[in-house]
């Protein structure tokens, strides 16, 4: 990375002359270094004649689009487009969470997809896997690929609760606290660090925990309706997170056996967008390179 600095130099006549000198500027922070490497990948892709992709990033339970805040700049620096919206009732969205349904999630994302001219790589994290599955059923023609990031990968007729039920002693289930009206849930605060942020820096962990909101319960209890002709026609990828304490690796692999997908792996916990953003982006770029526009 370079910047141009303007310097004043005295000539023989004593007058000042301006000249430009190019000075190498080294990254001061890890984030700067990651952006620099992403820009180098963009330049490499241009030299190779490789295209760019558009990513729609869907967050999981209790979080918001903010969880992708380290990933979006890296994708954009690499030349891609990325959108990380808040689902209804979460992040900065002001919809009362008790009223939110799975159909609301799908409708909001479908409106976004309908505004995009190009096909999209749809990424879902954790509980977001439920929403992206039902969205793929509704908008398969808008998608290049589905990506499940340590996410719930449902089968037709099943809901998120059914999928986590494949592992009855999962911390994800045991740590959940349902509201008195039975319409939302949160997670026991003392369990959050080990459950979601075991390998995340203290600063990122604190910032994340302070932004969590109650999760609409209906997203976990509404069965999905999926067909092979629609959902099944979209190429699927699963990114395993091998040290995940929320959706443990055995459950991840069980779901992939039930709904076969191409698999990539990260050696990390449940929140790779905080702990391993650069490695995550590299996997997303691998998927993009293997996902041409579909003729549908």
Number of compact structural domains in the chain: 1
Residue 190 lies in a domain: yes
Residue 12: is its pLDDT beyond 70?
no
Summarize the confidence of residues 253-263 as an average pLDDT. 98
The answer to which of 35-39, 49-53, 217-221 has the lowest mean pLDDT is 35-39
d(CA 22, CA 282): 30
Residue 66 lies in a domain: yes
CATH number, domain containing residue 177? 3.40.50.1820
Residue 171 lies in a domain: yes
Residue 169 lies in a domain: yes
% of the chain exceeding 90 in pLDDT = 80
Summarize the confidence of residues 247-272 as an average pLDDT. 98
Q: How do residues 114-142 score in pLDDT, each as one tens digit? A: 999 999 999 999 999 999 999 999 999 99
The domain of 279 spans 51-289
- Residues designated catalytic: 126, 244, 270
Q: How do residues 188-231 score in pLDDT, each as one tens digit? A: 999 999 999 999 999 999 999 999 999 999 999 999 999 999 99
Q: How do residues 73-102 score in pLDDT, each as one tens digit? A: 999 999 999 999 999 999 999 999 999 999
pLDDT at 22: 37
Residue 214 lies in a domain: yes
pLDDT at 41: 57
pTM of the model: 0.86
Residue 9 lies in a domain: no
Of the pLDDT bands very low, low, confident and very high (cuts 50, 70, 90), residue 174 is confident
pLDDT at 47: 39
Summarize the confidence of residues 143-147 as an average pLDDT. 99
Residue 277 lies in a domain: yes
Residue 22 lies in a domain: no
pLDDT at 36: 58
């Amino acid at each position: 990375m370079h910047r141009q600095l303007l310097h004043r130099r005295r000539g023989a006549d004593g007058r000042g002359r301006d000249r430009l000198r190019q000075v190498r500027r080294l990254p001061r922070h890890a984030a700067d270094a990651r952006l620099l490497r992403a820009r180098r990948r963009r330049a490499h892709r241009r030299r190779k004649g490789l295209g760019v992709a558009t990513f729609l990033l869907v967050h999981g339970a209790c979080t918001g689009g903010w969880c992708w805040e380290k990933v979006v700049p890296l994708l954009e620096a690499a030349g891609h487009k990325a959108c990380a919206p808040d689902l209804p009732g979460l992040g900065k969205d002001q919809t009362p969470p008790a009223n939110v349904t799975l159909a609301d999630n799908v409708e909001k994302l479908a409106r976004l997809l309908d505004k995009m001219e190009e096909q999209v790589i749809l990424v879902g994290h954790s509980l977001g896997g439920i929403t992206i599955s039902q969205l793929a059923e509704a908008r398969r023609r808008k998608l290049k690929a589905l990506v499940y990031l340590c996410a719930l990968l449902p089968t037709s007729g099943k809901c998120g609760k059914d999928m986590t039920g494949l592992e009855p002693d999962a911390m994800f289930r045991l740590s959940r606290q349902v509201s008195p009206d039975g319409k939302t849930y949160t997670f026991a605060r003392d369990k959050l660090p080990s459950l979601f942020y075991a390998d995340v820096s203290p600063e990122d962990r604190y910032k994340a925990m302070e932004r969590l909101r109650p999760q609409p319960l209906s997203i976990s209890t509404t069965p999905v309706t999926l067909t092979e002709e629609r959902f099944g026609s979209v190429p699927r990828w699963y990114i395993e997170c091998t040290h995940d304490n929320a959706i443990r690796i055995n459950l991840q692999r069980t779901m992939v056996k039930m709904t076969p997908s191409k698999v990539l792996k990260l050696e990390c916990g449940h929140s790779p967008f905080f702990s391993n953003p650069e490695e995550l982006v590299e996997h997303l770029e691998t998927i993009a390179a293997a996902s041409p526009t579909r003729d549908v």
